[in-house]
Structure 1
């Protein structure tokens, strides 16, 4: 690096540098400031969109407690308007529950499959997957339910999946496989907070020899 011995030499060097590179520097500063402003504007826009989606979703949830409210229509409208929002998957859950309550299992399965495909997190995908399998079980679509549960899910859902598979086998009259999967669910911690699993195991307990 060149060392300048006098202030005059340093000043001339600075002038020469600015003359050669000044336009690029100021342009870079302008672009940088513009980018910062644009980023802040983008963040503000995202925040406002999230708040709007949150308010709209709360109205959908509130509609479930209002007599005569068309929850399915409101959920569908919300999903169409906020398809890219994380709330859209939650709205699909609301719609699916409403459909199940009205014995519209095909509609429920459709909503849950959409939620499964569009879930932004592994947790939401797991919820959609297990609920979809329950609906398919209710439809007696056993093969589809089992295929749904073969998806890769978080380890925390292993007990839930094993119990659901037990339910599927039991619905088909396969008590041996049902018992095996119920026990598997119990071994994975499925009995915690779930006394029904113990009831299922007891009902299928192998008879003891006299």
Structure 2
């Protein structure tokens, strides 16, 4: 199972998150010079904090030790968007090293701490895939029961189908795969069609 099979879509969601939630430079309308100065000082502090976190994140990634240093980085930068990005990278590295418990921990942290809908849905679906890989089927289904962005409906249904199929519930798997297809899941995902074909009900010959 490829936990990161929709990497391009998820990467775009992450990019969009940072575009929409970057440090604001607009000064707005304030009353009095004192208020204006305070707002400028606040913005400057925000810019400085973001730049510092950005530099630290770059250093972390270039060090090649993301997984080992992720906890410290996240703790020191938990009020910045870079902590979320670091957690995603650490989770991916953990999966590649077959450290699924660690991946689950990082993704759970993102789900609990991020407010952006796309990022929360990305972390949630990846977490469910990790739990599926650990054969924690009921736990994975419970993870997917959380309300997520509509654009992730096909992904959620397909993962549910995988879980049901692994449990031997072929009828439920077929229903879930069809729901994924109905939600647009067949676009750029030929594997879903294969799953549907494998579970297709053959009508008896007349």
TM-score normalised to the size of structure 2? 0.81
Please identify the structure whose Cα radius of gyration is greater: 1
How far the C-alpha of 1:103 sits from its partner, in A, is 1.0
Gaps of 5+ in 1: 1-30, 64-68
Question: Which gives a bigger RCO, structure 1 or 2 (Cα 8 Å, sep 6+)?
Answer: 2
RMSD, matched Cα: 1.4
Alpha-carbon distance between aligned partners in 2 of 1:177 and 1:157, rounded to the nearest angstrom: 19
How far the C-alpha of 1:74 sits from its partner, in A, is 2.3
How far the C-alpha of 1:102 sits from its partner, in A, is 1.1
Which deviations, in whole Å up to 9, do the C-alpha atoms of 1:27-76 show, x marking residues without a partner? Answer: xxxx932221121011011011112212222333334xxxxx33212222
How far the C-alpha of 1:82 sits from its partner, in A, is 0.3
Task: Give yes or no for contact 1:169–1:177 (8 Å, CA) kept in 2.
Answer: yes
Q: Check if 1:154 corresponds to 2:149.
A: yes
* 1:1-210 equivalences in 2 (<5 Å): 32-63=32-63, 69-210=64-205
Alpha-carbon distance between aligned partners in 1 of 2:88 and 2:62, rounded to the nearest angstrom: 14
Alpha-carbon distance between aligned partners in 2 of 1:56 and 1:199, rounded to the nearest angstrom: 44
Gaps of 5+ in 2: 1-30
